[in-house]
Chains A and B, each alone.
Chain A
């Protein structure tokens, strides 16, 4: 299976509220809140770390879950977030094209 890379979409607005991310879509100003797993994906979606590494290092170490199952769930979640233009996905590392690509707080 090829690696999948995730990057935060620089067009969204985002802020952490009590450990969960609030995200406002840059497309239509829809507001989303991310659950704890999705928040982890968002925080480590730097465009350079493949999804399997994020799952192994950041999700399996925190949540009581089987690695293969966790990876499958994370990929489904990442694709869902990408369909809402919250994350960008690629099979290649994603270089920041936008000079103001945001940092999560």
Chain B
């Protein structure tokens, strides 16, 4: 993060301003990605008028960075009308899309509307792998064509690659492809549970040995020794700090108007169809609870070796049952980096031993026949 952005974020935190919002315009999608956490049926999306009104409210509340995502945003027939409205309000607009529906005409309109960046999901440089994840034959080719249209208009494109067992070996190929296309590339080894809490998608994520391989790839992490070092004990300041920006300077709004601290943190805090956005942001009991949590308040994690460097996601922890608890997926990542098990992993191991003892004891106590 640039120092000026850090300064602005610190000011927004102090003033309780939602600097950044992700708004999902729809959960409908033209791809069927195997790891997707969404229900793609339309359960009553906000109308054009409702979304425009929400954008007005968000601008008044001080929102600066607006990420429009989905589902597939280009499936909304009013997408460009909404985008025009957002740019008229001078939001810094970022888009997340599979880009399948972007042709020359759409790319030119995005340029005219001065969109800040367009993030496109690419899972592999090989069609047989990418298309097997999206479940749409030809989808890689269409997404790559769109990236070329966007680049030809001078737009900033970012390839987002989610790492799973299915495409684990292909991330160097995706990075090479990004370089050839002249675009940025991000790699995310986290597969999110479904919004309803179902965790079957998590099983698609990579295992420990794959994580260790990724975290020791200097082309991704820079200085491997530094990245994988066991962190120092947390300072008092670190223990007093907030876990992440969710609910502090950022939040998420679903296509149905529900407001959550983050797209990965499905704690309902209010609905913009019934309340003003700014009132939910400022006064929701749930938002205030999230805001009250400091690193020192985390159960288990405060005693963990990794507490000062862990990427612990409070949303994933919430989906595991406790927003102040550990997020097992992040424990796995910390373990893969340093080789030191997290406090949560050790606790589970101890509990596992106890469970074995409980199971064994009754058998031992059973009288002989």
A18 touches B87 (CB 8 A): no
Residue among B63, B87, B156 with max Cβ neighbours from chain A (10 Å): B87
The verdict on B60 contacting chain A, using a C-beta distance below 8 Å, is: yes
Whole-angstrom CA separation of A32 from B89 in the bound complex: 18
Interface residues of A in 1-38 (CB under 8 A from B): 10-18, 22, 24, 26, 29, 31-33
Whole-angstrom CA separation of A73 from B298 in the bound complex: 52
A29 touches B116 (CB 8 A): yes
Q: What residues of B have a CB within 8 angstroms of the CB of A10 in the complex?
A: 87, 114
Q: Which of B4, B84, B91, B112 contacts A31 (CB 8 A)?
A: B4
Whole-angstrom CA separation of A55 from B59 in the bound complex: 27
The verdict on A102 contacting chain B, using a C-beta distance below 8 Å, is: yes
Determine the residue in chain B with the shortest Cβ distance to A101. Answer: B88
The verdict on B15 contacting chain A, using a C-beta distance below 8 Å, is: yes
Residue among B11, B15, B156 with max Cβ neighbours from chain A (10 Å): B11
How near does chain B come to A73, taking the closest CB pair, in angstroms?
Answer: 23
Whole-angstrom CA separation of A2 from B87 in the bound complex: 33
Interface string of A29-67 (1 = CB under 8 A from B): 101110000000000000000000000000000000000
A102 touches B90 (CB 8 A): yes
A24 touches B8 (CB 8 A): no
The verdict on B357 contacting chain A, using a C-beta distance below 8 Å, is: no
The verdict on A103 contacting chain B, using a C-beta distance below 8 Å, is: yes
How near does chain B come to A102, taking the closest CB pair, in angstroms?
Answer: 4
For chain A, give the interface size range.
20 to 34
The verdict on B64 contacting chain A, using a C-beta distance below 8 Å, is: yes
B17 touches A17 (CB 8 A): yes
The verdict on B49 contacting chain A, using a C-beta distance below 8 Å, is: no
Interface residues of B in 170-204 (CB under 8 A from A): none
A15 touches B59 (CB 8 A): yes
Q: What residues of A have a CB within 8 angstroms of the CB of B7 in the complex?
A: 33
How near does chain A come to B307, taking the closest CB pair, in angstroms?
Answer: 31
Q: A22-B64, A29-B116, A31-B2 are in contact. Are A13 and B91 (CB under 8 A)?
A: yes
Whole-angstrom CA separation of A81 from B347 in the bound complex: 57
Q: What residues of B have a CB within 8 angstroms of the CB of A100 in the complex?
A: 84, 87-88, 113
Q: Which of B15, B17, B88, B114 contacts A26 (CB 8 A)?
A: B114
B156 touches A11 (CB 8 A): no
Interface string of B78-115 (1 = CB under 8 A from A): 00000010011111110000000000000000001110
How near does chain B come to A69, taking the closest CB pair, in angstroms?
Answer: 29
How near does chain B come to A105, taking the closest CB pair, in angstroms?
Answer: 5
Q: Which of A13, A17, A33, A98 contacts B90 (CB 8 A)?
A: A13
The verdict on B244 contacting chain A, using a C-beta distance below 8 Å, is: no
Q: What residues of A have a CB within 8 angstroms of the CB of B17 in the complex?
A: 17
Residue among A11, A24, A32, A98 with max Cβ neighbours from chain B (10 Å): A24
Whole-angstrom CA separation of A32 from B12 in the bound complex: 15
Q: What residues of A have a CB within 8 angstroms of the CB of B112 in the complex?
A: 98
How near does chain A come to B89, taking the closest CB pair, in angstroms?
Answer: 7
Whole-angstrom CA separation of A18 from B9 in the bound complex: 12
How near does chain B come to A20, taking the closest CB pair, in angstroms?
Answer: 9
Whole-angstrom CA separation of A29 from B92 in the bound complex: 9
The verdict on B234 contacting chain A, using a C-beta distance below 8 Å, is: no
Whole-angstrom CA separation of A10 from B112 in the bound complex: 10
A22 touches B8 (CB 8 A): yes
Q: What residues of B have a CB within 8 angstroms of the CB of A98 in the complex?
A: 112
Q: What residues of B have a CB within 8 angstroms of the CB of A103 in the complex?
A: 88-90
Q: What residues of A have a CB within 8 angstroms of the CB of B89 in the complex?
A: 102-103, 105
Q: Which of A33, A99, A105 contacts B59 (CB 8 A)?
A: A105
A104 touches B2 (CB 8 A): no
Q: A10-B114, A17-B15 are in contact. Are A105 and B60 (CB under 8 A)?
A: yes
Q: What residues of B have a CB within 8 angstroms of the CB of A26 in the complex?
A: 114
How near does chain A come to B9, taking the closest CB pair, in angstroms?
Answer: 10
Interface residues of A in 69-105 (CB under 8 A from B): 98-105
The verdict on B62 contacting chain A, using a C-beta distance below 8 Å, is: yes
Q: A15-B59, A17-B17 are in contact. Are A102 and B88 (CB under 8 A)?
A: yes
B156 touches A13 (CB 8 A): no
Determine the residue in chain A with the shortest Cβ distance to B84. Answer: A100
Could you list which residues of chain B lie within 8 angstroms of chain A, going by C-beta atoms?
Answer: 2, 4-5, 7-8, 11-12, 15, 17, 59-60, 62-64, 84, 87-93, 112-114, 116-117, 156
Q: Which A-B residue pairs are the 4 nearest by beta carbons? A: A13-B92, A102-B90, A11-B114, A15-B64
